[in-house]
Structure 1
Amino acid sequence: MQVTNQPIDAIHEEVFADTTSGIGPELNLINPQPESCRQISAESPVLSNIELAKLKNIPDFEAATIPMLYKVADGGAGLKQALDAIFAAADKYIAEGKCILILSDRGITKDMAAVPALLAGAGMHHHLIKNGTRLRASIIIESAEPREVHHMALLLGYGVSGINPYLAFESLEHMCADGMLDISFEKAAENYISACTHGIAKILSKMGISTVQSYRGAQIFEAIGISSAVIEEYFTGTPSRLEGIGLDEIAKEVAMRHEPAFAEQNIDPFSYESGSHYQWRNGGEQHMLNPETIVKLQQACKTGDYKLFKAFSKQLRGSAFANQNLRSMLTFTP
């Protein structure tokens, strides 16, 4: 394991970064043997469809695919049952000598939704640790859910060795076929994997870590708004100072995203919400920094109008933003 004392320059010190990911069983770290090196070395933890297909057919590295789907109508109870079934299947396959466990959400239907990839991957990681079988198999995620660098970093941080974001590749293929990209699909997929890999290396470098192997399973995260029961069961050891949602609420969020995709009426694909998670969009999520508040702040700064600034600050403290941050939920007691 390699960890430095200070952040690394992800660009100028790229020569020190290693984004290869070892896949397969691991032997005793404190008693290295020649057999310890017998692993599959992936140049990036982000795997193409072809690389995933190869992983499923490598001699002496038996792989097993475990569906991570559940009946969306069953809610949190169904989600819990599906997770238990996934972990039981993993125990069975490891006992049979399988050393690559592929958690896949392919096969989604109107009735069957995907178990959140991070919940399944992290839960599997800690389940195997508790059973003492973690080093006997690697976890691979084949999912439509991960698409951004942070998604990849979270999965790696919770023990996943490889990620196949197949929906991202399907989207790129569609864009190339429709002429939205003037490059081949193969080149677009290569660029996407390269961008994700460099993004992962940048995240690692901020923590002073230069190898994916050192980052995998490190859990350098803090949870906010997740119940202690979920943390203890599926994200064991993750710091969390605030209680929050459980499996029932997670299942509701899954259903909110799942049901519109299978709506009976024909929906114009361009009418779907474009997303407002990162910045304000009309009709999207509420943001404290929106056109109305930004204009007041800019005008107050340009004109030096203190009353306008007070109107800006009063608006941020108003009822419209009552639950936008933690401090607005606190009260002072004498």
Structure 2
Amino acid sequence: TKLVDEYFKGTATSIEGIGIKELAEESVRWHEDAFGDKQVYKKHLDVGGDYAYRIRGESHVWNPNTIAKLQHAVRANNAKTFGEFSQLVDEQNENLLTLRGLMELKLADKALPIDEVESVAEIVKRFSTGAMSFGSISYEAHSTLAVAMNQIGGKSNTGEGGEEASRFMPLADGSMNPERSAIKQIASGRFGVTAEYLVNAD
């Protein structure tokens, strides 16, 4: 975008965004909140809510409603509740909380020749899981993501904290361990980041 090219040269961005005018308007709005006469800010400024849910903060796809529905659906193995969760998430498109909600699909006039379409086998190689640490989810979830990615030719990311050595050691027959994460994340001084761990990365 023009803003990035002029003021943040070299920064990667794949979408258009705001410009100087919008940044100025936002700065003025923040100043008015801090020094204006709004009753809600008389004693302290709003903590915001860009990253964590706040009552008066920005809207998020993950909020008390969606999280509660997902937890109840999973714990009770309830398809109906999962359907309610899915509907809440899908409706975020209409609330402009996702990039896809800002897009309007334009259908092609004619079908694309199938030989011009990349094969599924090639597309899935670029799939990757988020860098969720082993400690933040569970051994079962973490290793299952690795197995799934290895099966489709994608790449799982260990996240901070490393990966148990047993998962990247080859199997008895010499084949690759299906629980091995291809991407090894490095966080300085974190447990699990060893030379052995590093050499077992793709």
Instruction: Return the TM-score normalized by structure 1.
Output: 0.29
Instruction: Return the TM-score normalized by structure 2.
Output: 0.47
| Larger relative contact order (CA 8 Å, sep ≥ 6) | 1
